[in-house]
Structure 1
Amino acid sequence: MKEIVRHNYLNTLSVLKDQNLIKVATGVRRCGKSTLMKQFQDVLRNENPDVSVLAINLDMPEFRFLGEQNWKKIYDYILENIKKNQTNYVFIDEVQNLPEFEKLLEGLYVHPKIDLYVTGSNAFLLSSELATLLTGRAFEINVLPFSFADYLEFTEKKTNPDRAFAEYVQTGGFPEAVLLSAKGNNFANEYLQTVFKNIYENDISKRYRIYAEESYQEVVHFLIDSVGSAISARNISKILTANKKKIDHKTTSKYINTLVEAYLFYKVNRYDIKGKQHLATQEKYYMVDLGFRNALLGKEQISDTGHLLENVIFLELKRRNHQVWIGKTDRLEVDFVARNQEGYTQYIQVSQTVQNPSTLARELAPFDKIHNHNEKILITMDYETGTHNGVKQINAIDWLLNL
Structure 2
Amino acid sequence: MIKRELYLERIRPFMHKDLIKVITGIRRCGKSVILQLIQKELENEGITPSSILNYNFESLKLAKLCTAEALHKDVIDKTKAISGKAYIFFDEIQEVENWEKVINSLRIDIDCDIYITGSNSKLLSGELSTYLAGRYVEFIIYPFSFKEFCSLIKKTKPKSSTAECFNLYIKFGGMPYLWNLEYQEEPVKQYLQDLYNAVELKDIIRRNKIRDVDLLERIINYITANTGNTFSATSISKYLKNEGRTIAPETVLNYIHAGIDAFLFYPVKRQDVEGKKILSVQEKYYIVDHGIREAVIGDNMANINMILENIVFLELIRRGYKVTVGKYAQKEIDFIAQKQAKTIYIQVCYILATQETSEREFGVYRNIKDNYPKYVLSLDEFDMSRDGIIHKNIKDFLLEDD
TM-score calculated relative to the size of structure 1: 0.94
Alignment-mate amino acid for residue 363 of structure 1: E
Task: Extract unaligned runs of 5+ from structure 1.
Answer: none
Q: What is the Cα deviation at residue 333 of structure 1?
A: 1.4
Equivalent residue number for residue 185 of structure 1? 185
Equivalent of 2:118 in 120, 123, 131:
120
Map 1:62-211; keep pairs closer than 5 Å: 62-67=61-66, 70-82=67-79, 83=81, 85-111=83-109, 113-156=111-154, 159-180=160-181, 182=183, 184-211=184-211
Alignment-mate amino acid for residue 330 of structure 1: A
Cα distance in 1 for partners of 2:135, 2:4 equals: 24
Cα distance in 2 for partners of 1:136, 1:151 equals: 35
* CA separation of 1:112 and 1:366: change in aligned 2, threshold 3 A: farther
Q: What is the Cα deviation at residue 300 of structure 1?
A: 2.6
Task: Extract unaligned runs of 5+ from structure 2.
Answer: none
Equivalent residue number for residue 276 of structure 2? 276
1:43 aligns to what SS in structure 2? helix
* CA separation of 1:174 and 1:379: change in aligned 2, threshold 3 A: same
Q: Within the alignment, does 1:344 sit opposite 2:345 as a pair?
A: no
Q: Within the alignment, does 1:365 sit opposite 2:372 as a pair?
A: no
Cα distance in 1 for partners of 2:323, 2:135 equals: 24
Q: Would the aligned equivalents of 1:231 and 1:282 in 2 still touch at CA under 8 Å?
A: yes
More off after superposition, 111-120 vs 228-237? 111-120
Q: What is the Cα deviation at residue 101 of structure 1?
A: 1.4
2:12 aligns to what SS in structure 1? helix
Equivalent residue number for residue 14 of structure 1? 12
Cα distance in 2 for partners of 1:345, 1:110 equals: 41
User: Which of structure 1's runs of 4+ aligned residues deviate more than 4 A?
Assistant: none
1:23 aligns to what SS in structure 2? strand
Q: What is the Cα deviation at residue 352 of structure 1?
A: 0.8
Q: Would the aligned equivalents of 1:376 and 1:392 in 2 still touch at CA under 8 Å?
A: yes
Q: What is the Cα deviation at residue 112 of structure 1?
A: 5.2
Q: What is the Cα deviation at residue 49 of structure 1?
A: 4.5
Map 1:32-51; keep pairs closer than 5 Å: 32-50=30-48
Q: Within the alignment, does 1:241 sit opposite 2:241 as a pair?
A: yes
Alignment-mate amino acid for residue 392 of structure 1: I
Per-residue CA deviation, residues 184-208 of structure 1 (Å, 9 max, x unaligned), is 3111111111112222222112121
Q: Would the aligned equivalents of 2:3 and 2:37 in 1 still touch at CA under 8 Å?
A: yes
Percent identical pairs in the alignment equals 33
Q: Within the alignment, does 1:390 sit opposite 2:399 as a pair?
A: no
Map 1:315-326; keep pairs closer than 5 Å: 315-326=314-325
Per-residue CA deviation, residues 22-67 of structure 1 (Å, 9 max, x unaligned), is 1111000011100111111001001115362111111111222211
Q: Would the aligned equivalents of 1:330 and 1:369 in 2 still touch at CA under 8 Å?
A: no
Alignment-mate amino acid for residue 318 of structure 1: I
Alignment-mate amino acid for residue 79 of structure 1: I
Alignment-mate amino acid for residue 313 of structure 1: V
Q: What is the Cα deviation at residue 178 of structure 1?
A: 3.8
Cα distance in 1 for partners of 2:180, 2:127 equals: 38
2:315 aligns to what SS in structure 1? helix
Q: Would the aligned equivalents of 1:237 and 1:249 in 2 still touch at CA under 8 Å?
A: yes
Equivalent residue number for residue 304 of structure 2? 305
More off after superposition, 367-376 vs 241-250? 241-250
Q: What is the Cα deviation at residue 148 of structure 1?
A: 0.9
Alignment-mate amino acid for residue 113 of structure 2: D
1:361 aligns to what SS in structure 2? helix
Alignment-mate amino acid for residue 175 of structure 1: P
Per-residue CA deviation, residues 292-332 of structure 1 (Å, 9 max, x unaligned), is 112112x2322111110000001111111111111122222
Cα distance in 2 for partners of 1:128, 1:49 equals: 33
Q: Within the alignment, does 1:23 sit opposite 2:21 as a pair?
A: yes
Q: Would the aligned equivalents of 1:228 and 1:286 in 2 still touch at CA under 8 Å?
A: yes
Q: Would the aligned equivalents of 2:65 and 2:96 in 1 still touch at CA under 8 Å?
A: no
Q: What is the Cα deviation at residue 181 of structure 1?
A: 5.0
Equivalent residue number for residue 214 of structure 1? 214
Q: Would the aligned equivalents of 2:100 and 2:127 in 1 still touch at CA under 8 Å?
A: no
Q: What is the Cα deviation at residue 212 of structure 1?
A: 2.0
Equivalent residue number for residue 56 of structure 1? 55
Q: What is the Cα deviation at residue 231 of structure 1?
A: 1.1
Equivalent residue number for residue 296 of structure 1? 296
Q: What is the Cα deviation at residue 269 of structure 1?
A: 1.0
Cα distance in 2 for partners of 1:205, 1:185 equals: 28
Equivalent residue number for residue 264 of structure 1? 264
